């Protein structure tokens, strides 16, 4: 199969381009983008598309950069493709934004491309990443300590309209296609300099790997494709969980509920964290596996805490939720925790409530009057001290008369308790964490009074408006 048909098959199998669409080619003048423009020009009628080309002068290579722009203009003129060119001081931008030159060039390039896409009302932006680029990307991410998400490499089609029709094409195939058709290209000498990480991988590491395994590039590419298939399934499940358990507080803050978080597989937990970060930062750049692990550990902590991540992002643990924010957390999150002393009354100012405890001896004629906010429990079954607190992630109780345990969250859902009110409901628990009473809703089977009971604790809850 020739390269033209190979790329056509890739486009159709992956639904990269639809008939009547407008496609902008990111056109540097190097062999990859020249080949991409050439092939899409050849396929233009068959695909029934409108082509445009965009070139950016990064102001890095002096006169060579101007020659690149003139070359791109002449080839687009030959192909009768509308050509757009822009120029930006990328070194200055990199310095101002405190980015590497590579990062700054990519950032500026895509900003310009998406701006042109909006002006032209275009559908897709075609970039010329090939198999060699994919292998380099996977190796770079692997060395940084990436997870499954990073090992899958670059996608052929992104939701923002980026497409990569040459991703399954090797560099040598691109050169052969150009040479066979007598098409020249521009040479960027910076690609041969070893002061960039990607260039070092390309010029040294991959060559050493191929000495040991001649098909190393193809093997790594197949691995990333296989990982991508498995990752898509996991991502679908993770996104479903995330959609059900997150709330956008404002443009800078996302809340992720933890009630069901630890019932999920670690892969779902990490992806939920990553989605939360992406909603706030609109990017995952600089976020690595070690950061995701730190957030998971934060979620496991008892009580409130916080950690700082890159890009001025702070993650707060507050009761039964994580908050991801680039600003100081302003949401008033109700939280309380008090010890219940025997035969004492305490005031919980946070919810304007008093709780009274009385320890009584049980005799043969023992009788107590109870109600929704007055309950009696077998004090002998209590482990250590008693506490009253607001709800925490993962809270469970064994409801009276039922087999097994039930999540406090589900009790609230069944009772149609509004989210805003759930943190105001007192939870009575012992030192071992066993829950005796979800006040006003449910008492535990494990602390019921029976014939073996010797001491009873009577707990009465009074609210200010009672």
SS3 88: coil
> Residue 305 pLDDT more than 80?
yes
Does the annotation flag 28 for ligand binding?
Answer: yes
Q: How far apart are the C-alpha atoms of 149 and 43, rounded to whole Å?
A: 33
Q: What residues contact residue 95 under an 8 Å CB cut-off, 6+ apart?
A: none
Question: Of residues 181 and 333, which shows the higher confidence score?
Answer: 181
Share of the chain above pLDDT 90, in %: 70
| pLDDT tens digits, 280-294 | 999 888 888 899 999
CATH topology of domain 3-212: Rossmann fold (3.40.50)
| pLDDT tens digits, 46-69 | 999 999 999 999 998 889 899 999
Does the annotation flag 466 for ligand binding?
Answer: no
> Residue 88 pLDDT more than 70?
yes
For the domain covering 229-325, report its CATH number. 3.30.465.60
Domain with CATH 3.40.50.620 in the chain: 3-212
| pLDDT tens digits, 389-418 | 998 878 999 999 888 899 998 899 889 888
| pLDDT tens digits, 99-108 | 888 889 999 9
Per-residue confidence (pLDDT) for residue 462, from 0 to 100: 92
* Residues 10 and 165: beta-carbon distance below 8 Å: yes
Domain with CATH 3.50.40.10 in the chain: 337-463
User: Average pLDDT over the chain, rounded to whole?
Assistant: 91
Q: How far apart are the C-alpha atoms of 13 and 168, rounded to whole Å?
A: 12
Tell me the Ramachandran region of residue 98: left when phi exceeds 0, alpha when psi lies from -120 to 50, beta otherwise. Answer: left
| pLDDT tens digits, 139-192 | 988 888 887 888 999 999 999 999 999 999 999 999 999 999 999 999 876 665
Does the annotation flag 383 for ligand binding?
Answer: no
Does the annotation flag 33 for ligand binding?
Answer: yes
Per-residue confidence (pLDDT) for residue 371, from 0 to 100: 87
Q: CATH assignment of 337-463, given 3.40.1000.10, 3.50.40.10, 3.40.50.20, 3.90.1010.10?
A: 3.50.40.10
> Residue 255 pLDDT more than 70?
yes
Nearest to 34 by CA among 160, 180, 184: 184
- The 8-class DSSP code of residue 203 comes to I
Q: How far apart are the C-alpha atoms of 35 and 41, rounded to whole Å?
A: 10
DSSP string, 191-221: GG-TTSHHHHIIIIIHHHHHHH-TTHHHHHH
Domain with CATH 3.30.465.60 in the chain: 229-325
Classify residue 321 by burial, with Cβ atoms within 10 Å: 0-12, 13-18, 19+.
Answer: buried
Does the annotation flag 89 for ligand binding?
Answer: no
Classify residue 35 by burial, with Cβ atoms within 10 Å: 0-12, 13-18, 19+.
Answer: buried
| pLDDT tens digits, 188-246 | 766 655 556 777 887 788 888 888 889 999 999 999 999 999 988 999 999 999 999 99
Neighbours of 88 (CB within 10 A): 17
> Residue 334 pLDDT more than 90?
no
Does the annotation flag 147 for ligand binding?
Answer: no
- The model carries a pTM of 0.66
Per-residue confidence (pLDDT) for residue 186, from 0 to 100: 93
């Amino acid at each position: 199969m020739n390269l033209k048909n190979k790329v056509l098959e890739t486009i159709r199998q992956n639904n990269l381009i639809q008939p009547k669409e407008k496609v902008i080619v990111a056109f540097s003048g190097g062999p990859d983008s020249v080949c991409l423009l050439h092939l899409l020009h050849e396929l233009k009628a068959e695909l029934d598309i409108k082509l445009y080309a965009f070139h950016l002068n990064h102001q890095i290579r002096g006169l060579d950069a101007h020659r690149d722009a003139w070359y791109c203009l002449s080839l687009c003129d030959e192909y009768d493709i509308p050509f757009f060119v822009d120029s930006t001081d990328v070194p200055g931008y990199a310095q101002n934004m405190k980015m590497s030159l590579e990062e700054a060039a990519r950032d500026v390039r895509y900003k310009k491309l998406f701006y042109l896409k909006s002006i032209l009302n275009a559908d897709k932006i075609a970039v010329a990443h090939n198999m060699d680029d994919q292998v380099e990307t996977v190796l770079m991410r692997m060395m940084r300590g990436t997870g499954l998400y990073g090992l899958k490499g670059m996608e052929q089609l992104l939701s923002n309209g980026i497409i990569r029709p040459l991703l399954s094409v090797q560099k040598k195939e691109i050169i052969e296609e150009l040479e066979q058709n007598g098409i020249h290209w521009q040479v960027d000498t910076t690609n041969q300099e070893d002061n960039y990480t990607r260039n070092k991988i390309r010029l040294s590491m991959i060559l050493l790997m191929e000495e040991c395994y001649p098909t190393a590039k193809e093997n790594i590419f197949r691995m990333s494709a296989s990982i991508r298939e498995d990752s898509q399934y996991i991502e679908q499940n993770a996104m479903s969980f995330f959609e059900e358990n997150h709330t956008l507080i404002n443009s800078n803050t996302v809340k992720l509920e933890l009630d069901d978080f630890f019932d999920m597989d670690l892969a779902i937990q990490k992806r939920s964290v990553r989605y939360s970060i992406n909603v706030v930062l609109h990017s995952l750049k600089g976020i690595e596996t070690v950061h995701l692990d730190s957030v998971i550990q934060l979620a496991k902590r008892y009580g409130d805490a916080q950690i700082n991540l890159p890009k001025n992002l702070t993650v707060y643990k507050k009761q039964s939720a994580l908050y991801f924010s680039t600003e100081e957390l302003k949401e008033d999150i109700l939280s309380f925790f008090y010890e219940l002393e025997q035969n004492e009354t305490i005031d919980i100012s946070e919810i304007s409530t008093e709780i009274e405890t009385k320890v009584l001896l049980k005799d043969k004629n023992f009788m107590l009057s109870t109600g929704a906010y007055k309950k009696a429990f077998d004090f002998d079954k209590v482990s250590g001290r008693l506490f009253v607190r607001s709800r925490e992630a993962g809270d469970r109780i064994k409801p009276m008369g039922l087999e097994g345990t039930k999540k406090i969250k589900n009790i609230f859902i069944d009772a149609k308790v509004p989210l805003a009110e759930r943190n105001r409901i007192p939870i009575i628990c012992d030192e071992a964490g066993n829950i005796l009473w979800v006040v006003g809703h449910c008492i535990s089977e494990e602390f019921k009074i029976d014939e073996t009971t010797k001491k009873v604790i009577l707990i009465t809850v009074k609210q200010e408006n009672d």
